[in-house]
Amino acid sequence: MTVENLNQEVIQELKEKVATGCRILAKLGLADYLGHVSARVPGTKYVLIKARGVDLGNLLNMTPERVIMVDLEANHVEGNFRAPAEVKLHTEIFKARPDVMATVHTHQHLATAFGAVGKPILPMLGIMSVVCAKPMPIFQSSLKIVTAEQGAAVARMLGDGLACHLKNHGILMTGKSVEEAVINAIWLEMQAKMTMLASAIGTPSAQTPEEVQLNVEQAEPITGRWKYYVSLLDLPYVAL
């Protein structure tokens, strides 16, 4: 499919979701001017991604106009801004994982600290545990992911998992939608916080795989949760 034939309604809706996702992550302190949300345009070789941070400033001000389009080789296709330096982190994940429809990369502090120490974030709290039910692999480099080779290496490390650490750098989260990838990143940070708090008091007791599975089965659709996180954007201050 050529770029001229793309469904512009679908593109606009996805751009709005990418921008909203960036604003939510910034509001909750998981991103500042760095970090990005991206989405695969379904059934195409195109990806929508938040533009380069230094061109935009605070992610709290993200708008759909600041979301650009690249192809799976990270070539710029559309939009008035440059692609983020780490665009190939996203495109190489999309190439390796046809099931992934959205990715989030942040330098969120708590989850990143666990990656730096090499300790697992434990499944501690309700449905949110699903994001760390399996240990996250750790990509053993703190360098920015700027080449296709680096991006492909992260994709290999991720395998069929949901997320991976980038040591002393941040995390890479995936989802079947923008909403899911953004909420997964938030939930990961909350599980990191819970693991840290419980470890400070004593020895954490994590959920069993059976409990995590039951929570997943009993979960409400993601639309309600997304609405909740969007509603936070109207509040003057929120904390994780």
- CB of 90 vs Zn ion, minimal distance in Å: 11
Please report, for residues 38, 107, 119, the alpha-carbon distance to residue 45 in angstroms, rounded to integers and kept in the order given: 13, 27, 36
Closest to Zn ion by CB, 170 or 175: 170
- CB of 161 vs Zn ion, minimal distance in Å: 18
Number of residues that bind Zn ion (CB under 5 A): 1
Binding mask 63-102 for Zn ion (x = CB under 5 A): ----------------------------------------
* Residue among 182, 136, 131, 191 at smallest CA distance from 158: 136
Please report, for residues 3, 82, 116, 120, 125, the alpha-carbon distance to residue 35 in angstroms, rounded to integers and kept in the order given: 26, 14, 18, 22, 25
Pairing of strands 163-166, 138-139: parallel
- CB of 170 vs Zn ion, minimal distance in Å: 5
Positions in 115-174 near Zn ion (CB under 5 A):
170
Closest to Zn ion by CB, 171 or 186: 171
How far apart are the C-alpha atoms of 115 and 29, rounded to whole Å? 18
- CB of 172 vs Zn ion, minimal distance in Å: 9
Exposed / middle / buried, residue 161 (Cβ in 10 Å: 0-12, 13-18, 19+): middle
Closest to Zn ion by CB, 21 or 170: 170
> Where on the chain is the footprint of Zn ion (CB under 5 A)?
170
